[in-house]
Amino acid sequence: MIFGKTLNKYYIRFFHFFLIGITALILIDFFQLKIPEVVRGVIDGLTEGTMTKELIVDSVKMLFTYALIIVVGRFIWRYFILGASRRIEFGVRNEMFKHCEKLDQEFYQKNKTGGLMAYFINDLEAVRMSIGFGTIMVVDAAFLGSLAFYKMIRIDVKMTLIAVSPLILLAIIAGFLSRLLHKRFRLRQEAFEQMSDFVNENMSGIQVIKAFAREPKEIIEFLKANENNRSKTFSFMKLVVVVEIMMRFFITVIVIIILAYGGNLIKNTIGTASEFTIGMLFEYISYFMAMIWPMIAVVRVIQINSSGKASLERINNILNEDVKVKDEEVVDVEEIRGDIQFKNLTFSYPGSEVKQLVNVSFEIKKGETVGIIGRTGCGKTTLVDLLMRVYNIQSNSLFIDGIDIMRLPIRELRRSIGYVPQDGFLFSDNLYNNIALGIDRNGDYFDKVIKAAILSDVNKNIQEFKEGYETVIGERGVTLSGGQKQRVAIARALIKDPSILILDDSVSAVDTKTEETILENLGNVRSGKTTIVIAHRISSIKNADKIILMDEGKVLDVGTHMELISRCELYLDIVNRQKLEDEIEGL
């Protein structure tokens, strides 16, 4: 059984579960040790010839009653103690997930998905085992062991002291091995985390692996990761086996001591007032055998607690991770209209001294369609990440509707923004649910889904699928083409009808005709609402109300398409290059 800030509140919440379960466990232990007394009476009665039929029947009835109590009691303690451990596991897993949902991009850049899954599965299982079976073993070791030891002393003090003396040496060795088990279990979990992350990444990127014919090399890399996991697991299990063998050795030695000493005691006390009978030896051995489980439990508690503590430390590393992007001193807003102002904004990613954005200043008025263009890596995506409050920024450098973005409620801000990222990430679900992701799913919203799909020009493609909108698209939308994924992602943003719509290079995988259709539809439905289009193709933004030209994290110029052509050499160069590319493609 392990304790800590993460678990203590759950122990309090489920105290009644543990109380009922432990009470039942103690009652079972008590009645379990009543059985040898009854059997001793039967053996001695048969040996001495004093056992009658009535006494045998009474003894059998008593044994049956004890057995029934033990069976019912075992059901009760399993339900309440193990049930409480399952409930705590459920609560901690929910707590972990909720906390992970709040963590920023910096955390996910340091921790990979496959590794995080190990925390949610393996580490939580180790903690649950320590809570459930750890509690059972501690109670059994304390109560059953103490009661059995007391009854053994009542029968013969000297034989008991001789029998338990090897246990002192066992306790010393177990204390040393506990630290070693803790260290090896932690290494085992880390090796599993690395292997899990490798498998997850490979399964997600299987198309790229096949495209580059990387299968043989990836298999070799997996074998290395698997071998490392096997090696660390074997190292841990070898130590576990050594502990168990050592335990059984000590038990065997003690049983031999009891039989030798007890047999000699029977021989030497025959006919005396303090005669040691065969029934008493059976009772004594029964008590010792009852002590074997607590002895084993002590060792297993050490094993389980070592594993549980190591896993709890890893879980605490996640739960103690600071939520850096959060609401602080926010103001109440009824709605976000869509006026945006960047004011001398300079930004570097956390942990980096490189400035991604330098002294950025421009303004977007509600209802404007604004294009953002520039070379790869010039800070376009970083700009919209800041609009989404993915990172914290300096106060009074970015305003929404005249309010510092750092004072806007994050949930309200993000609910007012429809965002289509570059990769157009889709979930392993059907198309219907993917498109409806951003809306409250109350009542019939199928018409909204259809309308959004029509606006993004993907409705016809979806209807061509055998199962239509019920088509399950696989992990990350693997069954769709690049253009289809982008258009489904656009539909997912449009269905929200947001005050601010951000398209981050979201039509790069579609043909020119489809692009024109989507942009025309946006122009028809986005009247009076702010739309930001990040693009590499001039055709995507040439009709925007204004275009922001960026380079090396700076805003070089802001104006319409014709204004930038007339006064900005870099923009003119981009236009001419794309014209040349179009002419070459047309040949």
Tens of pLDDT along the chain (587 residues) come to 677 788 889 889 999 999 999 999 999 888 888 888 888 778 877 776 777 788 888 888 888 998 899 899 989 999 999 999 999 999 999 999 989 888 888 788 787 777 788 788 888 888 898 888 888 888 887 888 888 888 888 888 888 888 777 777 776 777 677 778 778 877 887 888 788 778 877 776 776 677 667 788 888 888 988 888 888 888 888 888 887 787 778 778 888 888 888 888 877 777 676 777 788 888 888 888 787 777 777 767 777 887 788 888 888 888 888 888 888 888 888 889 999 999 999 999 887 888 999 999 999 999 999 999 988 888 888 998 899 898 888 889 999 999 999 999 988 998 899 999 887 788 888 888 888 887 877 766 788 889 999 998 888 988 988 888 888 887 777 778 888 888 889 999 999 889 999 998 888 778 888 888 888 888 888 888 999 999 888 888 888 999 999 988 999 999 999 999 999 888 888 888 888 877 776 55
HSE-CB at 214 with a 13 A cutoff on CA atoms is 13
Q: Where in the chain is the domain with CATH 3.40.50.300?
A: 328-416+500-512+528-587, 424-497
Cβ(118)–Cβ(1) below 8 Å? no
Q: What one-character-per-residue DSSP string does 336-355 give?
A: ----EEEEEEEEE-TT--SE
Burial 72-87 (b: 16+ CB within 10 A, else e): ebeebbeebbbbbbeb
Which amino acid, residue 76? I
pLDDT for res 23: 92
- Give the fold, CATH level 3, of 328-416+500-512+528-587: Rossmann fold (3.40.50)
Q: Where in the chain is the domain with CATH 1.20.1560.10?
A: 5-319
pLDDT for res 1: 67
Which amino acid, residue 245? I
In this structure, what token pair is assigned to residue 554?
Answer: 């700076």
Burial of 165: CB neighbours in 10 Å, binned 0-12, 13-18, 19+: exposed
Query: Phi, psi at residue 359, to the nearest 5°?
Result: 50, 50
5-319 CATH choice from 1.10.4000.10, 1.20.1560.10, 1.20.120.1200, 3.10.20.580: 1.20.1560.10
- Give the fold, CATH level 3, of 424-497: Rossmann fold (3.40.50)
Cβ(152)–Cβ(284) below 8 Å? yes
Using alpha carbons, select from 7, 159, 173, 174 the residue that is nearest to residue 90. 7
Max intra-chain CA distance, the chain:
123
Taken as a whole, the chain contains a residue count of 587
Measured CA to CA, the distance from residue 294 to residue 13 in angstroms comes to 28
Count each helix (H run) and each strand (E run) in the chain, helices first: 22, 10
Measured CA to CA, the distance from residue 288 to residue 163 in angstroms comes to 9
Using alpha carbons, select from 199, 209, 222, 227 the residue that is nearest to residue 121. 199
pLDDT for res 429: 84
The residues, any chain, with a CB within 8 Å of residue 445's CB and separated by 6 or more, are 436, 439
SS3 state of residue 448: helix
Measured CA to CA, the distance from residue 493 to residue 503 in angstroms comes to 9
In this structure, what token pair is assigned to residue 507?
Answer: 């039509």
Using alpha carbons, select from 536, 533, 527 the residue that is nearest to residue 546. 533
- Strands 398-400 and 417-420, by their bridges, are unpaired
